[in-house]
Each structure stands twice: as C-alpha cells, then as structure tokens.
C-alpha cells in the first residue's frame, strides 16, 4: 500500500507517495530523479548506493524508504556548493581515485559520513570504511590517498 513519506533530501523537504517497503535507492533515483547514486549489486555488497542518513553512511539499496521518514538524507548531489566542490570531491577527483567512476559517489558518501562524524578518524578507521566498497578499476591505493588528502583539507579549513 502506498503511503506518504516525508524526509529532507540535500536540505530540501521532499514528500513521496510510495510503498514504504520500496528501497530508498529506488525512491532517490526513480521517483526523485537524482541519478548520482548508483546501483551495482542486488543485495548490499558493493557500496555503490551509499548515501548519508542522519549523519551515517547507509546502503540505500537495502534501506526501506520507511526508515527515511523524517530523516535527513544527503546524496552525492548534495555535497558541492554551487561551483565549489566539497573537499572530498576535490581530493578524490585529483588523487587518481576516479577511473570509470561508478563506485565513486558511494565512496565519497562513505567518507562524508565518516569525516562528518569523526573528523580525526584514524587511517585504520578510514581503511575499514573503504573496505565496505568494491572498486574494480583502481586497486584502491589512489582512493586511500584521496581520502587522506580530503581529511587534511577538511581539517585545515576548520
């Protein structure tokens, strides 16, 4: 049965009328037409669909939209401020972490969730976060480099 569900998406209140068991990723991509969030698997194993909900990185392909009711959701489209990239976007775009780019939005959102909650996350914590994501292109080293660069940029700005 369809229900009205309201949440904040990238700072804007949004209301959708959907089956509450629909996965959040489908709502974001197909109902609200934000296609930056990607789908790479059928069951929460690749990390491509990661968004930040109430400050925590979650896999939107296994998160029913009812759980987003009243929540604050940020997707990759919500990071840049106009023409200014978020430091994580900037670092990831320059460290060699982008090849095909399909894993990229999910990884950036994972790091965003991590650094917002814990700006001083240790390298081990960063590595544990990255280990939740599959990247078939890069061998991961440039992603780690980008993450460390981003953390430094964010700290310097504070």
Task: List interacting residues with ligand FES (CB under 6 A).
Answer: 39-41, 44-49, 59, 61, 99-103, 135-138
116 binds another protein (CB under 8 A): no
Kindly state the greatest CA–CA separation across the chain: 49
144 binds another protein (CB under 8 A): yes
Stretch that binds another protein, among 52-60, 63-71, 112-120, 131-139 (CB under 8 A): 131-139
153 binds another protein (CB under 8 A): no
Alpha helix (H) residue ranges in 10-103: 24-26, 87-94
Angle made by CA atoms 28, 50, 53, in degrees to the nearest 5: 75
Q: What is the spatial distance between Cα 114 and Cα 110, in angstroms, rounded to a whole number?
A: 6
Question: Are 18 and 27 a contacting pair, CB within 8 Å?
Answer: yes
59 binds another protein (CB under 8 A): no
Among 27, 68, 73, 130, binds another protein (CB under 8 A): 130
Q: Which two tokens stand for residue 116?
A: 């917002």
40 binds another protein (CB under 8 A): yes
Q: What is the spatial distance between Cα 149 and Cα 60, in angstroms, rounded to a whole number?
A: 27
Residues binding another protein (CB under 8 A): 33-43, 45-46, 48, 75-77, 79-80, 85, 89-90, 92-94, 96, 98-105, 108, 127, 130-131, 133-144
């Amino acid at each position: 049965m369809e229900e009205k569900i309201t949440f904040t998406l990238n700072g804007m209140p949004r209301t959708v009328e959907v089956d509450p068991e629909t996965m959040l990723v489908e709502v974001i991509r197909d109902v609200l037409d934000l296609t930056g969030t990607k789908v790479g698997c059928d069951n929460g194993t690749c990390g491509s669909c990661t968004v930040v909900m109430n400050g925590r990185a979650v896999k939107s392909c296994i998160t029913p939209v009812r759980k987003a009711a009243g929540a604050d959701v940020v997707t990759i489209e919500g990071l840049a401020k106009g023409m200014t990239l978020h430091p994580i976007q900037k670092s990831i775009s320059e460290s060699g972490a982008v090849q095909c780019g399909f894993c990229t939005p999910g990884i950036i959102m994972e790091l965003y969730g991590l650094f917002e909650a814990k700006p001083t996350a240790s390298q081990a914590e960063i590595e544990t976060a990255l280990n939740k994501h599959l990247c078939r292109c890069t061998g991961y080293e440039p992603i780690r480099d980008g993450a460390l660069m981003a953390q430094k940029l964010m700290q310097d700005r504070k």
